[in-house]
Amino acid sequence: MSDRRPVRIDVVSDVVCPWCFIGKRRLEKALALASDVPVEVHWRPYFLNEWIPPEGMSREQYLTTKFGSPERYTDIAQRVRAAAADEGLVYAVDRINRQPNTRDAHRLIRWADGIGKSAEMKQRLMDLYFTEGADLSNRAVLVQAAADVGLDPENVRGALDSDQDIAEIEREVEAAKEAGIQGVPCFILDGKYAISGAQAPEALAQAIEQVSAQAAE
């Protein structure tokens, strides 16, 4: 067992960001490569599309607003789908019919952290959206996702109907922007070093090992 101080990794990302989906898997591979380095991973919220209304919108409307038309996203989608497949992930872009506001999804991740299941909650929400085409603006979908990782569904249903932790989520998102984070995923190591984008596992592992070595000096 290592007696080194754990490297803190804050991952700023959004559950509907395809490169965050891929980046999470690459981080997991990086941690396996740097398995001798103790780490603490914390999942931080970000709004990729903060302009989307609370009820979400149709995927077609979203793609038209953001890219000009759904067709203009086709080439991007193919590249992302291929990159996801290389990591053993399924980006089923044709199944996605709704583009959600992700504020409530981030609340679930925050609540799951209370039982040590934030990573599992993050993964479940991403799988629902990218692979199953579920609508993350749908309360029933969110409650079931929470139950899937071990949260009490009745408690979650009541919390979602309240404003619990909304201000905290929005404060964290604003803090990320004030820190200069304009793209996600962003991996912040020990609060000092920021790595932007879904980097290769080898690059992430090397950075984690370097930060750990510096801390031990």
Chain segment 100-120, per-residue pLDDT in tens? 999 999 999 999 999 999 999
Is residue 1's pLDDT more than 50?
no
Average pLDDT of the segment spanning 160-185: 97
Q: How far is CA 33 from CA 1, 28, 30, 205, 207, in A?
A: 16, 9, 5, 6, 11
pLDDT for position 2? 54
CATH class of 7-216: alpha beta
pLDDT for position 28? 98
Q: Does residue 4 or residue 157 have the better pLDDT?
A: 157
d(CA 101, CA 31): 30
* Cβ atoms 89, 130 nearer than 8 A: yes
Between CA 183 and CA 191, with CA 188 as vertex, the angle to 5 degrees is 130
Count the neighbouring beta carbons within 10 Å of the beta carbon of residue 100: 28
pLDDT for position 40? 97
pLDDT for position 196? 96
Question: If you average pLDDT over every residue of the chain, what do you get?
Answer: 96
Average pLDDT of the segment spanning 20-39: 98
pLDDT band at 217; cut points 50, 70, 90: confident
Which pTM does this prediction carry?
Answer: 0.96
Average pLDDT of the segment spanning 65-79: 96
pLDDT for position 37? 97
Sign of CA dihedral 44, 31, 127, 139: negative
Sign of CA dihedral 145, 113, 173, 160: positive
Between CA 161 and CA 170, with CA 167 as vertex, the angle to 5 degrees is 110
Judged on CB neighbours under 10 Å (0-12, 13-18, 19+), 88 is exposed
d(CA 116, CA 121): 10
